[in-house]
Structure 1
Amino acid sequence: MDPYDSDSSLDEDFTETSVTLGYASEEQYDDKISHLGGWPTWIDEKTPPPGEFANCKVCNNPMALLLELHGDLPDHFSINERRLYIFGCPRKPCNRKPGSIRAYRATRKVNLDSTQEEQKPEKAKPEATKPEKEAPKPKQDLGASLFGVTSLVGSVSANTNPFSTKPASSPSDNPFATPKPASNSTAPTDGLAASFADKVRLSSPETDPTAIKSSPPGAASKQTPESTGPQTPWPAQSAFPAPYKYFYLDADMEAMSNPSTPQVPENVTLEPMDEDGGGADLKDTFESELDKAFMKFSTRLAHNPEQVLRYEFRGSPLLYSYSDQVGKRFHAGHAAGKVTTVSAGGSIPPCEYCGAERVFEMQLVPHAISMLEEGREGVGLGKDDAGMEWGTIIVGVCAKDCAPEELYKVGWREEWAGVQWESQ
């Protein structure tokens, strides 16, 4: 069995890790933002991504959405609304080529102090004998965590929470949630329940500001989309290929079964194989025919075969291969079966926009392909449509979550998508 770090033991047969797994389902869950396939939605429908973000870098045609993830991380970025996206080109000529799969992050800062004036006590009025007005009920905050969660924060925001239908006096579903104000989001108004957020918040370490490193002097940086003037508009829906099937996402912490230790009967004696027995040669031959990374990858996934997403902000990716360009980036830090994602060591390129290091946040794994391509045939995509052939898509994001300083202005950033293609 592959080595792994255990955070807590569930019982003698299972061990829980710090990774949160995402599962696809046709059943509707409380989080209405995170999903596989379908059409994307935006934090602010009036501020879609720059039009060029829609296009494959190989054929320059619009791509199909693979994943949209509600990415709020209040423990790390307390005033930031975040969403993550992965798009992929389904056209056969673009398959396996750099730029045919792209990842994006949308971030908007909100003002936690916008209602301070409202919270100041009013001065006493001359009509002291008149009955006092009923105190305003506390307003609800935005679902403040990944995969949706609600929490109550008094009168933090001037807007009521568009995601919650629960009364303001009800207790929070997520006792770990950090207060965050509501936004002008146009997302559905259905209620949310604790799911991904509490697990991610428990497993993710607090951000250490001293650990956020900038790129070396002279490192390349580029203008942000909002600083370059008017953008090419996002294409009309008719310009995109037919969408992949839509699936809601649910999540749970990764739990793996512990292998039982074989017991040797008392009346059996084990003798070492002599050098001429071929044991060493057999072992070398066996290992030379197998990709160690792939064996570890498939063994780890086999514990929870229906997972489509692995999430651990500032965690480590599970590599499909050590020998491709992506695998070589991380394998240099490989020790005792654990890959350490340290951008300063060259694992992930730094953020091109602000120069900060990038850190691992999530990856798609192969079962997502079988879910997305379910019923894909016969949707009129044309002869050039190809099936997906990646082993995993690793997403690295800016450790500073760089965004426009102007409040409520959505910033779009292309993030690093490390694609490990399926072995041929």
Structure 2
Amino acid sequence: MGPRILTSLAARRFFRCAHGRWAAVASCTCCVSLLSMAATQAVELGFAQESESWRLVSSQFPSKAGGRPAWLGEEGMPGPADLQCGVCQKPAAFLLQVYAPCPGCFHRTVFVFCCRDPTCHREGESRCFRVFRNQLPRKNDTYPYSPPPEAAPAGEQGRPSPELRCGARLCRVCGCLGPKQCSKCHQASYCSKEHQLLDWKAQHKKLCGGTQPEAPIPDHGFLFPEYEIVTEPEELESEDQEEDDVEEPEQAACMPGQTSTDVSLTLDAQDLESMARHESEEDMAFNRFKKRIGAEPEQVLRYCRGGQALWMSARNVPSGANIPDCQCGSKRIFEFQIMPQLLNHLRVDSLGDSIDWGTLSVFTCTRNCDAEKRYVEEFLWKQDVVESAK
């Protein structure tokens, strides 16, 4: 595997080309071939990587997992009611965002949130996830027309501001809209009573109404660990390599005094018919999944707008009828999936119930409707890990 590219080359409107320059789509003639991936529905793989905090703020248009969301537009942001878990109605935590411009949308980001309560992640339950899309034209009131700087601005600490340019304040705990304020100091903002209580216990009880300098926001135990998501094109094995992979187990099965032909005949007579009878569709689906991700087992994201998801199981695969149309009436198409490997980075394992999934597939509006003045909710399909695939 070659060196990781720090931004998505196939999906982004602004990209850092192979020569390290920021450019707009098709403006770097020496790198135009990279853009052909989008037209051929090639898959881009995402990997979680630790990064400097200044790279993960809104003005850098990051793809990232964990931490607080790096909001794109400041108009029509989802409020506390929009970001509640559909099962327990508690505030959902920011899981991941993907910066993914496409034709007609210069800046475009898709945000995914999920409930922190493992009991809400039972099999077949996807209401514990919320997905929102937002986009902006290149000329807008929030960001400069030119590409973002490639170095940290002087004095930049990389911490998200508790207040947006438009004047809206964000929750100190989760980084989402915080319409509630501390009734004593009127300085700290929150999305809910739950988060106000978390912050009171962690820090605000000591600072409220005092004259101490503002301290860094503490770890409330609510956010997931923060990573940048870096991408590179998926490289598929050639047919010759695949044939070699199939032949290796037969060669390894040779006993002393046997030839590979003898073994093949033995398998034909004794095992092949039985294997074909007992190997279920479920086994084949999981084996395809394992083989496809085997070359890059650390991938946490697969991006291919308009392509197909890679399903872990033959069960619970959605049909067209299972994917609801967008609120504008347009069909939704597959855009990206979040892989189970991301769970290894989120520190959610416990002795009891844990957050878990097989794969999370996000479907978005085919025509990218009405998301420049507000955040539009999209659709997520959760496929669970079945017993035979564990």
Q: 1:108 to 1:17 in 2, by over 3 A?
A: closer
For 1:98 and 1:310, how far apart are their aligned partners in 2? 19
* Contact preservation (8 Å) 1:17, 1:255: no
The unaligned stretches of length 5 or more in structure 1 are 1-15, 115-140, 143-158, 167-184, 187-230, 330-344, 378-382
Q: 1:305 & 1:397 partners in 2: Cα distance?
A: 26
Any residues of structure 2 matched to 1:413-424 within 5 Å, and which?
Answer: 413-424=376-387
Other-structure match for 1:59: 88
SS of structure 2 residue aligned to 1:67: strand
- Which residue in 2 is equivalent to 1:106? 134
Query: What amino acid maps onto 1:236 in structure 2?
Result: C
Aligned residue pairs total: 270
Match of 2:293 among 293, 297, 301: 301
> Matches of 1:289 and 1:71 in 2, distance apart?
34
How far is the alpha carbon of 1:72 from its aligned partner? 1.8
User: Partners of 1:237 and 1:34 in 2: how far apart?
Assistant: 27
Corresponding residue number in structure 2 for 1:163: 148
Superposed CA deviations along residues 127-176 of structure 1, whole A, max 9, x for unmatched, are xxxxxxxxxxxxxx97xxxxxxxxxxxxxxxx55372369xxxxxxxxxx
Distance 2:281 2:332 in 1: 34
3-state SS of paired residue (2:383):
strand
1:71 to 90, 96, 100: 100
Root-mean-square deviation (CA, aligned residues, Å) is 3.7
Which amino acid in the other structure matches residue 304 of structure 2? E
For residue 249 of structure 1, what is the amino acid of its counterpart? Answer: I
Are residues 282 and 237 of structure 1, via their aligned partners in 2, closer, same or farther at CA, if it must alter by over 3 Å? same
Q: Which residue of 224, 242, 255 corresponds with 2:235?
A: 255
Preserved contact between residue 58 and residue 99 of structure 1 (Cα < 8 Å): yes
In the alignment, does 2:1 pair up with 1:18? no
* Structure 2 equivalent of residue 246 of structure 1: 226
Map Cα deviations across residues 199-250 of structure 1 (whole Å, 9 max, x no partner): xxxxxxxxxxxxxxxxxxxxxxxxxxxxxxxx99595388456100000111
- Report deviation, 1:402: 0.5
Greater RCO structure (CA 8 Å; 6+ sep)? 1
- Residue 373 of structure 1, aligned match among 344, 347, 351: 347
The answer to whether the 8 Å contact 1:43/1:410 transfers is: no
**Cα separation, 2, equivalents of 1:55 and 1:37:** 17
Partner residue in 2 for 1:322: 314
The match for 2:169 is none
Instruction: Verify the 8 A CA contact 2:282 2:315 in the aligned structure 1.
Output: no
Confirm or deny that 1:91 pairs with 2:66: no
Pairing of 1:16-415 with structure 2 (within 5 A): 18-28=42-52, 32=60, 33-45=62-74, 47-73=76-102, 76-78=103-105, 80-96=106-122, 97-109=125-137, 159-161=144-146, 163-164=148-149, 233=179, 236=191, 239=194, 242-257=222-237, 258-259=241-242, 261=244, 262=247, 269=261, 272=265, 277=270, 279-285=272-278, 287-288=279-280, 291-324=283-316, 327-329=317-319, 345-346=320-321, 348-351=323-326, 353-373=327-347, 386-403=353-370, 409-415=372-378
**Unpaired segments of 5 or more residues in structure 2?**
1-39, 152-163, 166-176, 181-189, 196-220, 252-258
SS in 1 for 2:288: helix
